[in-house]
Amino acid sequence: MLNSSSNRRTMLRSMVGGSLLMPGIVSQLLAGESDPLVPKATHHAAKAKRVIFIYATGGVSHIDTFDPKSTAGGRDGSGKDRLMGNLFGAKPDPKCGTMVSDIFPHVRDVMDEVCLIRSMKASHFDHSEATLGMHTGSPTFARPSMGSWISYGLGTFNQNLPSFIVIAPHLPYGGTQVYASDFLPAFHQGTRVLPGNDPIANLNPPDATGRLQDLEFDLVDQFNRRHADQRPHDTALAARIKSFETAFQMQQAAPEAFGLDQEPEHIRRLYGLDRKVKGPGADFGWQCLVARRLAERGVRFIELIDTGSRPNWDSHGEMKEHADLAYNVDQPTAALITDLRQRGMLDDTIVLWATEFGRTPTKEGKNGRGHHRDCFSVWLAGGGFKGGHVHGVTDEIGKYTVENPVEVHDLHATILHQLGMDHEKLTFRHAGRDFRLTDVHGTIVTDLLA
């Protein structure tokens, strides 16, 4: 097995057939100091170094979670639709007073660390489009994900692990596009991990001595020399080679990073790993604890997909589904914030919790709610965001924003700002024009910042 940086570069050089055969990015890869994944200079002083993005699939009802409304039994302004208030009760956080539903008691206890936005507006009213909007800034066209843009703009701290890791037991609406790099170089694409004992399939070589793998590399060397000779200007080839090198390095780094048996029992209990949890989200404690371990080890962007299969948060028929879903994720989510704070990592880690849209204040069917794009809730913790703060106000039934609306592009621009990047300068030339995560939109929401 190769284990030194010089040996890895030797392997890479042989795999591309020599640095003189490939221009630009390959020469940079082989030189080492210009590796596109090494940490890069920021546009301005950064408050945060990394992001952990918790994504709740299906459209979480703001009325029943982070913007509880008591209105029930009446009619909306049209006089036709039946209103339905928060079904679960709510209390204020004793430290900062933020009202949170009773189905999130653990998260409510850490709201003094949370900057809550109640005035988000979704980019679309359908699941796939709104999910892509939240992840990529574009609900209608294939674009790089936020994680890919941040990897491209900042690089990563650990060359032995991917810069962007997605822990997803099931894919959300929008599928793999939520972590795709699209026109950005392929090594900025998210690497999907499955919760459990075998998070990355085929990670360990079948030959314990590594001899078989060495023989395979020799064969790959011959093929790649021939392939590179015929394509001296194919920069996409360099991206693939970098991905192969990362996969090789992960054979040593990943087993240790995912080894939760190294965690003390009190930390495992903190994340609820001792609880009996059933159905979608049962592995969420594992996801959150692994996210902290990956953040510690220098991964730049980590996304946790909360469910994706049914039942997910898409409660058209029965809002009581929200209670079980919240139970699965409430304690681990709060534990992640607490654990990061205790380790001194919360100050420079952004924890983002989001969903694609909210749900209607009126009933759908017997006891469900429909899709609602005009207002919903997301929140951020750490990373220089204002703890214990609530931004935006919705009307008395949770149908419209009445103060301080926030668009998805504004959210993205503000996150990039905290990471030290100017969202208007983070661009990539493609198809004859400069693209960016925020397209031609986006305003930094300074009221969210500490």
% helix, strand, coil for the chain, step of 5: 35, 15, 45
262 vs 117: which has the higher pLDDT: 117
CB count within 10 Å of CB 104 equals 23
Q: Is residue 138 included in any domain, yes or no? A: yes
Q: Tell me, yes or no, whether 46 and 9 share the same domain.
A: no
- CA 413 to the chain's CA centroid: 15
Q: Tell me, yes or no, whether 110 and 140 share the same domain.
A: yes
Q: Is residue 322 included in any domain, yes or no? A: yes
The last residue of a domain, from among 218, 248, 278: 248
52 vs 83: which has the higher pLDDT: 52
pLDDT band at 11; cut points 50, 70, 90: very low
What is the token pair recorded at 42? Answer: 């920021």
Instruction: Tell me the C-alpha distance between 401 and 409, whole Å.
Output: 17
Q: Is residue 279 included in any domain, yes or no? A: yes
Average pLDDT over every residue of 26-46: 72
Q: Is residue 253 included in any domain, yes or no? A: no
Give tens-digit pLDDT for 227-251.
Answer: 767 776 665 666 666 666 666 677 7
Q: Tell me, yes or no, whether 45 and 31 share the same domain.
A: no
Q: Tell me, yes or no, whether 3 and 65 share the same domain.
A: no
Mean pLDDT score across all residues of the chain? 87
Give tens-digit pLDDT for 153-201.
Answer: 999 999 899 999 999 999 999 999 999 999 999 889 999 999 887 777 6
Instruction: Tell me the C-alpha distance between 88 and 339, whole Å.
Output: 28
Q: Tell me, yes or no, whether 235 and 311 share the same domain.
A: no
Q: Is residue 349 included in any domain, yes or no? A: yes
Q: Is residue 160 included in any domain, yes or no? A: yes
Q: Tell me, yes or no, whether 174 and 215 share the same domain.
A: no
pTM for this structure?
Answer: 0.87
Q: Tell me, yes or no, whether 106 and 221 share the same domain.
A: no
Confidence check: pLDDT of 202 > 60: yes
Coil, strand or helix at 119: strand
Q: Is residue 192 included in any domain, yes or no? A: yes
The last residue of a domain, from among 190, 222, 248: 248
Range from 5-9, 78-82, 124-128, 205-209 carrying the lowest mean pLDDT: 5-9
Q: Is residue 340 included in any domain, yes or no? A: yes
Q: Tell me, yes or no, whether 315 and 328 share the same domain.
A: yes
The number of distinct structural domains making up the chain is 2
Q: Tell me, yes or no, whether 93 and 236 share the same domain.
A: no
HSE-up of residue 110 (Cα within 13 Å, Cβ side): 24
Q: Tell me, yes or no, whether 16 and 146 share the same domain.
A: no
Considering only CA atoms, give the Rg of the chain: 23
Average pLDDT over every residue of 140-144: 95
Instruction: Tell me the C-alpha distance between 241 and 252, whole Å.
Output: 18
- Domain containing 266 — which CATH number? 3.40.720.10
Instruction: Tell me the C-alpha distance between 335 and 102, whole Å.
Output: 17
The answer to whether residues 116 and 147 touch, using CB atoms and an 8 Å cutoff, is no
Alpha carbon distance, N-terminus to C-terminus of the chain: 48
Q: Tell me, yes or no, whether 310 and 169 share the same domain.
A: yes
pLDDT of residue 231: 72
Domain containing 325: what range?
38-199+258-448
pLDDT of residue 280: 62
pLDDT of residue 174: 94
The last residue of a domain, from among 215, 248, 281: 248
Q: Tell me, yes or no, whether 13 and 56 share the same domain.
A: no
Give tens-digit pLDDT for 263-309.
Answer: 999 999 999 998 877 666 678 999 999 999 999 999 999 999 998 77
